[in-house]
Structure 1
Amino acid sequence: MREMIHAMKEELWEIFDHLHRHPEVSWEEWKTTEFIKQQLIQEGYRANTFSDCPGVIGEIGSGPFTVGLRSDMDALWQEVNGAWQANHACGHDAHMTMVLGVAKLFNRIGYKPPGTLRFLFQPAEEKGTGALKFLEKGVIDDIDFLYGVHLRPIQEVKSGYAVPAILHGAAQCIDGEIKGVAAHAARPHLGVNVIEVGSAIVQELSKIHIDPQVPASIKMTRFHAGEKNANIIPDHAEFSLDLRAQTNEAMEQLVEGLNHVVKGIASIYDADIQLRSGVRIAAARPHPQAQQLMERAIVATLGEEKCLPPVVTSGGEDFHFYSLMKPQLKTTMLGLGCDLKPGLHHPQMTFRREDLLSGIEILARVIMETFEHFTPRGETESAYLTTKN
């Protein structure tokens, strides 16, 4: 297996370079969709797309037991060297390369799963809505185990190491609007200053307390009020809040506390405050069996000393909607160390490309091991794992 992966290296780098040079933002990944579809068809997979959204489903085999492997597709929109553009600064180009690499590897070694193997190339992870669309499409309904992968920053996992689960936290953005009463700045008692209301919200947010053993935060990240004239008490403001919590339960407590704060301040200042909730990203709940299988695949690929405990991170991932909405689904995400720096979402983010080869091997192993353990033994090619390295 390892020799075959290395033999494919130049082809994999061409795929990565193509994806990196042609980034597309959330819900606009149409060219990426077509490229991936053609790559899968070329390798003999059944490949399906959708008329109303980007995304690709690749499949091989048949049977009631189904294993899935998911990659995200979208790029960020950010300023790079002074120009705003789509940019793969979160590693999704690497994720697609690895998942395509697994598909190509299985075709090259002639692996035939004793069940259904499904590859999911999902749009709009950065918007937090792509997984919800795939859930709506029903592509998860019959999957038993679902695996994902994400590059980890050097601060979490170094090159040559990996973790069998990424414990992402819950995340939510909430937009707000404040309506007060305009007045002359010389007569503030006749108005309701929305800036003062916004300031009160910021102060009271720090008083929302939940279990201190659970990491959580809520902060205002955008506020706009007033226009060109400085001598007017402004009567309208818009703001945004970012909420983070390590568990879904803690997120519920943050939202409850926020609603209590807003209701109280609106009453004190006689202002109208409206909140509009955006998409809430679910916290990770990796399944013990999926995590154990991923750990075994990491050990077989990198060695026991290179398999680290699951990493806790404050970032969010819409992958975790799958297990939240389908509790019977067994999921986990591989966290791959690759000396990624200076950090995820940095416009000049770089990583060690060679580590993608290890990622492909780990993902291939966990898929084969899952079929081996949960389907009747047969021509599963699992012996290839130990005899061809």
Structure 2
Amino acid sequence: MINQKIKKSITNNSEELTALRRKLHSEPELSFEEFKTTAFVCEYLDKLGISYRKTEPTGVIAEIIAVPGGKTVALRGDMDALAVEQLNKHVPYASKIDGKMHACGHDAHTSMLLIAAKALFEVKEELPGNVRFLFQPAEEIALGAQSMVDQGAMDGVDNVFGIHIWSQMPTHKVSCTPGPSFAAADIFKVKFKGKGGHGAIPEACIDAAIVASSFVMNVQTVVSRTIDPQSPAVLTVGKMVVGTRFNVIAENAEIEGTVRTFNPDTRDHIEKSITQYAESVAAIYGATAEVEYIRGTDTVDNDEESAKLVQQVAAEAFGSDVLFNEKPTMGAEDFSAFLAKAPGSFALVGSGNAEKDTEWSHHHGNFDIDEDALATGAELYAQYAWAYLNK
């Protein structure tokens, strides 16, 4: 199943792979602002001779067509950075832009996918099908994948595969289990309106601060008392804005939060319950409530056959001890938009190494990766495509 030419190509290009990642890391761009990154990817593909087209406003869809009309597998790597200040400025590839940083590993994903494309193009004549490369923008705002889908990224695709570098796993380890791996992620916003007035005359007012506080405390029981404990769910209130002055009773309060679930029925139940709780709490105090529930990314649900193929490919490429069983995370990933169009799977490749100080959480200003993991990811991309097309 493993192609030795691909393995050799990845090994021979490991230094270039690291150089690509360091260049991208030093020049981060935010979601839908990845214009230089898009241009860089296009220039690299031009040198390889791989055809591509740009998506709007950013992003690239490239393709190796070895068998016109044949089976097609898509490989996805995201490109955007975060509005995070880099704290580990001592590294030689530190961000050159204040307040922007590749704090999640997307620089690694893009560079790994470029080297995977290079390795697959070298065996183009042996490919029994086609490989599409999705250099995706705007994953961090959960809009890039759907944007690419809307622009034809998944047209004619039979299977899709993605990778995320994972600092919570040891370097080189690979995890890809069937079933949910990343949660569905939604946003809710609640506006309470009471009756403001002087802080010394509470009996003439309806205190929106009391209403909002009561809601925050009570809404937690949606999960703790109305959801099956074996159906994981998280409801977090992350923002509350209320009041204008120390001696003025608040008339308005605004709350924002997030809901994370794996089960669609649980998701529906929580959405309905948030509205019920908000309206009921408001009614107790004589206030009113306005609720907005925004559905974000869906669950990343790994297809069983695809996930098992990833495990088989990883074991044959790197040895069976590379396999790792990382538990599902309540984090979100818009890779789910691709899975809505074709079966596939999403793997985690470990990059955590205490000796290299690369175990920091994703999105932290000290985040970094053990660059030894880059070759693992690049080869996993390429070998998976080879294995899938040769099934």
TM-score, normalised with respect to structure 2: 0.89
The equivalent of 2:172 in structure 1 is 160
Spell out, residue by residue over 1:132-189, the C-alpha distance to the aligned partner (whole angstroms, 9 max, x if none): 11121122132110000001123xx212311124711111122222222111111112
1:88 aligns with 2:102: yes
Match of 2:328 among 312, 325, 328: 312
1:29 aligns with 2:34: yes
The equivalent of 1:344 in structure 2 is 362
Q: Which amino acid aligns with 1:104?
A: K
Q: Which amino acid aligns with 1:260?
A: Q
Structure 2 Cα separation of the partners of residues 356 and 111 of structure 1: 26
Quote the offset at 1:224 in angstroms: 1.1
State the SS of the aligned residue for 2:302: coil
The equivalent of 1:105 in structure 2 is 119
Q: List structure 1 segments (4+ residues) > 6 angstroms apart after TM superposition.
A: none
1:62-73 to 2 correspondence within 5 Å? 62-73=68-79
Match of 2:81 among 71, 75, 78: 75
Spell out, residue by residue over 1:297-331, the C-alpha distance to the aligned partner (whole angstroms, 9 max, x if none): 1101221122123531121101012223x3xx111
Match of 1:248 among 254, 261, 264: 264
CA gap 1:315/1:113 in 2 versus in 1, 3 angstroms:
same
1:214 aligns with 2:226: no
The farther-off stretch of 243-252 and 26-35 is 243-252
Q: Which amino acid aligns with 2:382?
A: A
Contact 1:63–1:114 (CA under 8 A) maintained in structure 2: no
Segments of structure 2 that go 5 or more residues without pairing to the other structure are 1-5, 90-96, 353-357
Structure 1 Cα separation of the partners of residues 307 and 300 of structure 2: 12
State the SS of the aligned residue for 1:2: helix
State the aligned residue count. 366
State the SS of the aligned residue for 2:114: helix
Structure 2 Cα separation of the partners of residues 239 and 201 of structure 1: 9
Segments of structure 1 that go 5 or more residues without pairing to the other structure are 374-389
Quote the offset at 1:17 in angstroms: 1.1
Contact 1:20–1:88 (CA under 8 A) maintained in structure 2: yes
- Identity percentage of aligned residues: 28
The equivalent of 1:59 in structure 2 is 63
Structure 1 Cα separation of the partners of residues 19 and 132 of structure 2: 23
Q: Which amino acid aligns with 1:159?
A: T
TM-score, normalised with respect to structure 1: 0.89
Q: Which amino acid aligns with 1:216?
A: A
Q: Which amino acid aligns with 1:15?
A: L
Quote the offset at 1:222 in angstroms: 0.6
Spell out, residue by residue over 1:200-231, the C-alpha distance to the aligned partner (whole angstroms, 9 max, x if none): 1111112112110122111211111122x311
Q: Which amino acid aligns with 1:273?
A: A
Structure 2 Cα separation of the partners of residues 294 and 182 of structure 1: 59
